[in-house]
Amino acid sequence: MPQDIIADDDVAYAEKILLKNDKTFNTERSTFIKDLTTLDLQAVLGSRKRLLY
């Protein structure tokens, strides 16, 4: 069985750095973070999207 590149421990570490008050990512967001296939992410106006070239 292939090993996950981004493990649950990695997601927990990111939560600790990025989120306040011991908050956690929901299941959908954690799954998105660990999925290394090409995905489209739609963001609402004002979410500070940037185009990188």
Q: In the predicted model, what is the mean pLDDT of residues 3-15?
A: 89
CB 15 within 8 A of CB 34: no
Per-residue confidence (pLDDT) for residue 52, from 0 to 100: 54
> What's the whole-number mean pLDDT along residues 43-47?
74
- The whole-angstrom separation of Cα 8 and Cα 26 is 12
Mean pLDDT along residues 9-37? 91
Judge whether residue 37 has pLDDT over 70. yes
Does residue 42 carry a pLDDT above 60? Answer: yes
What does pTM read for this prediction? 0.63
Task: Write down the mean pLDDT value for the chain.
Answer: 81
* Mean pLDDT, rounded, for 26-43: 83
How far apart are the C-alpha atoms of 34 and 4, rounded to whole Å? 8
